[in-house]
Structures are given as structure tokens and as C-alpha cells.
């Protein structure tokens, strides 16, 4: 019986390593027990959690703010059309605006479901800054940082429970935990790097979002922003973003400040 148990575990581990290569970005060396479908399932459940909690996540109504959603979704489309997002066609890449002027933040959960607070929108000064911050959040989903971190946090044991049908509520539990998950500093640095990569082929300034971090540092943290909790220091991020822009040979110089002013003043 003991030999059988060990053999079963070895089979599961072998299957895990085989399945991990399916649909995986070849440029991503990390080990992730979750599939792309798992990412989408988790993201969809987080979306449901958010929609069912309007007191904590007061989503801006789409029916009365069509122009605002058209504007911000055009930014997402422009980033995707630049051709550097690996899971462009696999994830839905939806974006919603959360009406809370006191929170300077944005986040993107697995599967490409993104949320931007009006506090962040009003804190920024130009479209290229918002595009860079959104590119950063999209990179977390595209590089699968959330499920990478969850693999480290929960490990093989959780996979065994799911595979063996011993924890049917695991996905729901994980989805609820996503809203409080913190990324590692390495993940934050990589998200900054890929934000530049995503923006570089466009006409935006690829390093425009460094102004956001500089402003946060000048303001001592930007009020209720979460960007200092686990993130690298703003000074280092500004330098790294500038270096990556030079390394990638980015030539875009558009900031679209007038259009952006009209957008944020409409919120």
C-alpha cells in the first residue's frame, strides 16, 4: 500500500510537469501549477466577487459613462494591438473603472480582468502615464505573476487536492484570496520592464509612466496608493524604466495630455 501511494504521487508530479508546458509562454522560466484555463476561471470568479460587493468596489456605471469606458478601453486595445502581449488572444482583457477618488491604484487579476480607480486616473497627468500603469498591470496577468505566486504559496499539496477531488471549493477560496495577494519585488520589476515592452511600438512615450512613480515619491506615497507596500523604491523604478526604454530603442513621444484632461475631468 505504501509503494502504491508513492507511485501515485510520482505519477501526479510527472503529469504536473508535463501539463505545465501546455500553452506556456516559452520566455517564462517560472514553474506554475495552474493552466491558462485556471487563470481565466480564477479571474472570472474574482470579477464576480467584485461585482457582488458594490460597497467596497463601486464600479462606475457603464450605461451612463459610455464615453469614459470607450476612452479607457481604447487604451487597452492600443496596447494589445502593439503585438507584444503574449496572451493577447487567450484572455478577455476587460477593464472596469472603480469610482473611488481616495484610492490611487489599479490591479489586474488572472485572465486579464483589470480595474482602475478614479483616484489613480485623477492623480495622473497624461494618457501615456495611464497607458504605462495599465501596461504594468496587464503584465502581471500576461506574465502570470498571480498564479506563479499562488503556486509558491500553496504548492503541490493544493494541486493534489484538486486532482484527487478532495477540495472542490479550492478554486473559490483561491479567487477570494487574490484580492489581497501581494506581488514579489521581482514580479513588480518585471511588470515595469514589460510595460515598456508593450508600449514601445506605439506612439506613446514608453517611459511616460515613470512620472507617476516620481510624483509618488515627491508626494511621500501618493495618499492611499498601494504602490509602496511591496514594490521597489520609486527612484529605482524611474531609473529602470528609463534604461529599458533606451535599451528597447523606443521612439514614441506622444503624451496626449489635453485628451487625458478631458477624460479625467468627466469622471
Positions marked catalytic: 137
| Chain center to CA of 193 | 13
Going by C-alpha positions, the residue among 9, 219, 179 that lies closest to residue 98 is 179
Dihedral sign computed on CA atoms, order 83, 227, 30, 160: negative
Number of H helices, E strands in the chain: 11, 3
Q: Cell 514608453 belongs to which residue?
A: 206
What CA–CA distance (Å, rounded) separates 57 from 203?
33
C-alpha grid cell, residue 11: 505519477
Q: What DSSP line would sit under 243-266, residue for residue?
A: HHHHHTT----B--HHHHHHHHHT
Going by C-alpha positions, the residue among 181, 182, 240, 249 that lies closest to residue 213 is 240
Amino acid at each position: 500500500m505504501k509503494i502504491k501511494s508513492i507511485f501515485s504521487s510520482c505519477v501526479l508530479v510527472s503529469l504536473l510537469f508535463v501539463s505545465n508546458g501546455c500553452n506556456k509562454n516559452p520566455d517564462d522560466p517560472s514553474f506554475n501549477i495552474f493552466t491558462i484555463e485556471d487563470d481565466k476561471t480564477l479571474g472570472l470568479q474574482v470579477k464576480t466577487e467584485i461585482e457582488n460587493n458594490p460597497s467596497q468596489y463601486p464600479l462606475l456605471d457603464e450605461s451612463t459613462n459610455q464615453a469614459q469606458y470607450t476612452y479607457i478601453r481604447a487604451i487597452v486595445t492600443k496596447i494589445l494591438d502593439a503585438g507584444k502581449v503574449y496572451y493577447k488572444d487567450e484572455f478577455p482583457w476587460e477593464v472596469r473603472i472603480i469610482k473611488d477618488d481616495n484610492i490611487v491604484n489599479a490591479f489586474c487579476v488572472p485572465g486579464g480582468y483589470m480595474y482602475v480607480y478614479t483616484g489613480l486616473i485623477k492623480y495622473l497627468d497624461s494618457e501615456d502615464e495611464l497607458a504605462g500603469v495599465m501596461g504594468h498591470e496587464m503584465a502581471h496577468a500576461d506574465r502570470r505573476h498571480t498564479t506563479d505566486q499562488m503556486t509558491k504559496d500553496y504548492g503541490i499539496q493544493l494541486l493534489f487536492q484538486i486532482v484527487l477531488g478532495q477540495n472542490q471549493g479550492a478554486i473559490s477560496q483561491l479567487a477570494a484570496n487574490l484580492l489581497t495577494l501581494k506581488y514579489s519585488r521581482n514580479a513588480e520589476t518585471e511588470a515595469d520592464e514589460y510595460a515598456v515592452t508593450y508600449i514601445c511600438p506605439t506612439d506613446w512615450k514608453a517611459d511616460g509612466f515613470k512620472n507617476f512613480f516620481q510624483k509618488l515619491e515627491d508626494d511621500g506615497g501618493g495618499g492611499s496608493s498601494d504602490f509602496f507596500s511591496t514594490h521597489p523604491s520609486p527612484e529605482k523604478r524611474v531609473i529602470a524604466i528609463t534604461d529599458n526604454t533606451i535599451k528597447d530603442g523606443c521612439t514614441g513621444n506622444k503624451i496626449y495630455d489635453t485628451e487625458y484632461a478631458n477624460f479625467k475631468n468627466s469622471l
